[in-house]
Structure 1
Amino acid sequence: MEWKFVRLLSIGQIRPGMKLGKRIYNEEGLTLLAEGAELTVSIIRRLERLGIDILYIRDEVTDDIVLPEMVADETRREAVKQIRTVYRSMMNDKMGRMSYPHLGYSFRKMTESILDDLGSREDVLIMLGDIHTTDHYLYTHSFNVCLYTLTLGMAAGHSREDLFTLGMGSILHDIGKTRISPKVLLKPGRLTDEEFAEMKRHTELGFALLKDEPFVPLLAAHCAFQHHERLDGSGYPRGIRDGEIHDFAKWIAITDSYDAMTTNRVYRRGMLPHEAVDILYSGSCTQYDQRKLEVFRDKVALYPVGLTVRLSTGQTGVVTSVPPKTPNRPIVRVIEDEEGASVQPYEVDLSRHLSIMVSRIAEN
């Protein structure tokens, strides 16, 4: 497992001379800025233009804080690269074919690789996604949704065979978007009603692409078809209700929404995990399955490692680690007292001090 020494800061807190604590990717899975790179005025301005508003930074105060990775960097890089290659090929196909001989096999191997990597790690939590630019978000979104969904499926005790099907359904859930007009798919802003109506067709188009594909389980095709359905019938494309939606699609409905909320887009910043979880829970029993939300909540690191927080005691600290059994109550290193004065750092384990809570995210 890889570990990095970092602190998470907003782009407004970044100063020239600081060093990057975790690499930044573009949306094609390629390194945009390497870990350890020294940030200059021009680089900071470029990152702002690219829509990046938070960064992991090496920090002397927190130089022993470690950031666990959900999967190996090589697994992530190869998966996003393969998603990009296949999806681009489909987007550039002027014939509009609905069958691709190697599609199922390619994604089958990819899913197995992600599953093996996750299975080799103990007590995996859903961490804040990698920092990347806002363009061509489809590739990393597909990877993230697969990663998060498999984490939940493993926590729920699904069999290896079911996990494979769930992984295939989640990594291919948005493949129908390769059949959506690029002007709509890549529009740098909110969609009009007409454009949104076209975008919604990706569920049906995805099902049509996958249902007869060799190496793709039919249930995975139904995940692409149903992941925007909601329990109260308010979803699409068919407006079906709770009992008609497959369990796997209900998992993907949660992880798809979560990754969309926590990812930067051109027209809005990504939310922090605790903000997104609050919104998801507001849709419990109407939009999303309550029991699945409970599994999800227990597997999400609400306050990412490196985040600066204000405690209910008035003190300010940095999240140093997240206990797998209590992901909503991190270990916090206190660095400032109630008046904002620096103190000799010490750690408070919120899972042991139940009267102390994170009251808000701190801004320097």
Structure 2
Amino acid sequence: MRLIPVSSLQPGMKLGKKIYNEDGIILLSENAELSEAIIRRLRAHGLDYVYVADARTEDVVIQDLIEDETRRKALQEIRTSFRKLTEPTMKGLIYPYMGKTFTGLVESIMDDLSSREDAMIMMMNINSMDHYLYRHSLNVCVYTLLLGQIYGYSKEELTLLGLGAMLHDIGKTKLPLDLLNKPSRLTDEEFEQIKRHPVIGFQMLKDEPGIPLKSAHCAYQHHERINGTGYPRGLKGENISEFARWIAITDAYDAMTTHRVYRPAMLPDQALEVLYTGCGEWYEKSKLELFRDHVAIYPLGMTVKLSTGEQGVVVKIHKEIPHRPVIRVITDPYGAELKSPYDLDLLSQLSIVITKVDRMENKTEKTV
């Protein structure tokens, strides 16, 4: 299968990977034939990239980081719980179900990740048509738990980390939807209102039964930056929770690689480049390096252009050096399709580099 921008889809193409709605329910299955109406719907729902079937790359299999059932259940629980939190409540009312519910979800995700040998951080937003906040909460949890496992945290520590990651943006449930979904750049006043969500989230979680204080501090501190330029308190360095320092990276990465109402999704190579502009200033260098070493910056199925002028598709990623993947060359330097595509391993062909990837245009906005 191949990964292509929705803008490049043509009627008659067949879907290579399932597409889900906000409940994790399958909307379109593999091999579904795409029509003009379906393509318009995909675009309208904010999908920038999809996998399509391609005989030249039919051996390329993309394994999700978590199982379909885990994903479905997590999205449903997040959606149900977060929607309840948007409802007006009596002062002092607590939500005793949250700790048990989300701890169970985190444990299921941990079980799935433990079975993914040599897993890399892949984009989780390609094949879902759902509410940003719900999807973002799940993605940040998955990415952060994977990093935590690689880092060597104990199961107990991972549970605390996963809870903090899944609930890091819970404060946004108390902000106006029209503000969260504004399709244009936020004014300074609106951005200040958005910046209240870490404090709101901490206040919601700090006394919640079943939510440890260490997890609640992830909601409080995930927008703090190690040079003291973050918010809400301008904390520096190790005064910021270690868990929050991980989530700062995964939160920003997922926000950039997700379609937003004001811009298309970035691809991983772009997002990583942006993250590195804050290395040692916003983000801890050692944590960002571990993240970099486990991100598939050129995802499986992506179409790329080589310095030779040829085009090809990423068919294998080397875990040790992910930026030098195996490319299945499908066109010659002049753009003519090859009758017999062949594989080129950039790890052994060091003089050849990737010069361009098939991407949507995007622009940088304030990340919230």
Sort the TM-score into its range (normalised by shorter chain).
over 0.9
Q: Does 1:138 align with 2:133?
A: yes
1:144-190 CA deviation, whole Å, 9 max, x = no partner? 00000011111111121111111111001011111112232233333
Residue of structure 2 in register with 1:100 after alignment: 95
- Counterpart AA for 1:106: T
Corresponding residue to 1:355 among 335, 343, 351: 351
Corresponding residue to 2:279 among 279, 284, 287: 284
Tell me, yes or no, if the aligned pair for 1:24 and 1:130 is still in contact at 8 Å: no
Write the distance in 2 (CA, Å) between the matches of 1:229 and 1:329: 33
Write the distance in 1 (CA, Å) between the matches of 2:256 and 2:240: 22
Tell me, yes or no, if the aligned pair for 2:198 and 2:219 is still in contact at 8 Å: yes
Unaligned runs of at least 5 residues, structure 1: 1-5
Write the distance in 1 (CA, Å) between the matches of 2:359 and 2:250: 28
Q: Which stretch of structure 1 is more off in the superposition, 19-28 or 273-282?
A: 19-28
Q: Does 1:38 align with 2:58?
A: no
Write the distance in 2 (CA, Å) between the matches of 1:363 and 1:129: 16
- The count of corresponding residues between Structure 1 and Structure 2 is 359
What RMSD, in angstroms, separates the aligned Cα atoms of the two structures? Answer: 1.7
- Counterpart AA for 2:261: V
Question: For 2:56, what is the secondary structure of its paired residue?
Answer: coil
Write the distance in 2 (CA, Å) between the matches of 1:129 and 1:96: 37
- Equivalence map 1:232-251=2 (5 Å): 232-251=227-246
Residue of structure 2 in register with 1:153 after alignment: 148
Q: Does 1:269 align with 2:267?
A: no
What percent of counterpart residues are identical? 53
Write the distance in 2 (CA, Å) between the matches of 1:9 and 1:276: 18
Residue of structure 2 in register with 1:3 after alignment: none
1:241-271 CA deviation, whole Å, 9 max, x = no partner? 1121111101000000000000001110000
Residue of structure 2 in register with 1:212 after alignment: 207
Post-superposition offset of 1:94:
4.3
Post-superposition offset of 1:363:
7.3
Q: Does 1:333 align with 2:295?
A: no
1:180-234 CA deviation, whole Å, 9 max, x = no partner? 1223223333322222212111101111111112221211001110000011111
Tell me, yes or no, if the aligned pair for 1:27 and 1:132 is still in contact at 8 Å: no
Tell me, yes or no, if the aligned pair for 1:176 and 1:203 is still in contact at 8 Å: yes
Post-superposition offset of 1:362:
4.2
Q: Does 1:14 align with 2:9?
A: yes
Tell me, yes or no, if the aligned pair for 1:134 and 1:265 is still in contact at 8 Å: no
Question: For 1:221, what is the secondary structure of its paired residue?
Answer: helix
Write the distance in 2 (CA, Å) between the matches of 1:57 and 1:42: 16
The change in CA–CA distance for 1:108 and 1:163 in structure 2 (over 3 A counts) is same
Post-superposition offset of 1:133:
6.2
The change in CA–CA distance for 1:98 and 1:259 in structure 2 (over 3 A counts) is farther
- Counterpart AA for 1:355: S
Q: Normalized against structure 2, the TM-score is what?
A: 0.93
Q: Which stretch of structure 1 is more off in the superposition, 252-261 or 304-313?
A: 304-313
Write the distance in 2 (CA, Å) between the matches of 1:53 and 1:191: 22
The change in CA–CA distance for 1:32 and 1:193 in structure 2 (over 3 A counts) is farther
The change in CA–CA distance for 1:272 and 1:252 in structure 2 (over 3 A counts) is same
Residue of structure 2 in register with 1:173 after alignment: 168
Tell me, yes or no, if the aligned pair for 2:48 and 2:126 is still in contact at 8 Å: no
Unaligned runs of at least 5 residues, structure 2: 361-368
Tell me, yes or no, if the aligned pair for 1:28 and 1:139 is still in contact at 8 Å: no
Question: For 1:55, what is the secondary structure of its paired residue?
Answer: strand
